[in-house]
């Protein structure tokens, strides 16, 4: 899951398995959340978003779950592929004027 | 559409020098932001703009200036570079609030 500091949490999964990446967000007033994927040397890429009036949202091979009671967000990736190897960030709209605030990221490594 | 274009991709500055990081988007997005990313950490908001002529400070604005004279462009100025500003800088845009940001590919800045 997400944490503050210089060392990224890591998650290693076998190719074909499902991945679950967790994020604890900070602000109970946040009502919009996004997951981003960042490959080495590239900018963050939008994966999926969810608003606080929903508990679950599905995309292509990805599902985001939101638990507002415990301020927890998760990203599930089905049938993880080598191309899914990247750092994954969650973000919430808790910043100035509802700008996005990012977590520190989780490094996902897909093993052959 | 080119999306969000950042220049330069790499830059080395000496302490005390000034420079401008360029950001342009061709999606007619109203919202634009600058983030910095330090090793092993998430993205931190420097400045943002909710439309032409309107800018405001984010989480880490000190040492940076911005202006937004057109919808398309949102340059970031370093007034007097310091080693603490060594980082990767990302520009992002969004059509509206609480919508997924599109990120540029980043500018890697080293201050020596």
Q: What is the pLDDT of residues A13-61, one digit of tens each?
A: 999 999 999 999 888 889 999 999 999 999 999 999 999 999 999 999 9
Tell me A83's DSSP state.
G
Confidence tier at B39 by pLDDT (50, 70, 90): confident
Between strands A10-14 and A62-67, the pairing is unpaired
* Confidence check: pLDDT of B110 > 80: yes
Sort out which chain B residues have CB atoms less than 8 A from A6's CB and list them.
Answer: 39-41
Q: Single out the residue of A63, A85, A84 nearest to residue A74, CA to CA.
A: A63
The token duo for A92 is: 């919430």
Q: Which residue has the tokens 């420079």?
A: B19
The average pLDDT across B37-46 equals 88
Sort out which chain B residues have CB atoms less than 8 A from A51's CB and list them.
Answer: 98
Higher pLDDT among residues B40 and B4, named by residue:
B4
What's the pLDDT score for residue A7? 57
CA distance B46 to B97: 17
What's the pLDDT score for residue A6? 44
- Mutate: best of A43, A73, A91, partner B, most B CBs <10 A: A43
* Confidence check: pLDDT of B17 > 90: yes
CA distance B35 to B90: 5
The average pLDDT across A100-106 equals 90
The average pLDDT across B31-51 equals 92
Name beta bridge partners: A110.
Answer: A13
What's the pLDDT score for residue A111? 95
Sort out which chain A residues have CB atoms less than 8 A from B44's CB and list them.
Answer: 102
A residues 49-88 closer than 8 Å to B (CB): 49, 51
Inter-chain touch B42–A32, beta carbons under 8 Å: no
What's the pLDDT score for residue A1? 40
């Amino acid at each position: 899951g997400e944490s503050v500091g210089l060392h990224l949490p890591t998650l290693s999964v076998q190719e074909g398995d499902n991945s679950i990446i967790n994020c604890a967000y900070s602000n109970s007033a946040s009502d919009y959340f996004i997951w981003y994927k960042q490959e080495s040397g590239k900018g963050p890429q939008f994966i999926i978003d969810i608003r606080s009036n929903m508990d679950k949202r599905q995309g292509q091979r990805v599902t985001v779950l939101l638990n507002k009671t415990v301020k927890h967000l998760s990203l599930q990736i089905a049938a993880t592929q080598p191309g899914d190897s990247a750092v994954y960030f969650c973000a919430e709209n808790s910043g100035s004027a509802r700008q996005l605030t990012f977590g520190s990221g989780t490094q996902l490594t897909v093993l052959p | 559409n080119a999306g969000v274009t950042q220049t330069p991709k790499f830059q080395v500055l000496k302490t005390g020098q000034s420079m401008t990081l360029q950001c342009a988007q061709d999606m007619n997005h109203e919202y634009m932001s600058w983030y910095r990313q330090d090793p092993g950490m998430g993205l931190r908001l420097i400045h943002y703009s909710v439309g032409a002529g309107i800018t405001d400070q984010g989480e880490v604005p000190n040492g940076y200036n911005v202006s937004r004279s057109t919808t398309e462009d949102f340059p970031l100025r370093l007034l007097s570079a310091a080693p603490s500003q060594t980082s990767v800088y990302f520009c992002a845009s969004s059509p509206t609030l609480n919508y997924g940001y599109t990120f540029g590919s980043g500018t890697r800045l080293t201050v020596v």
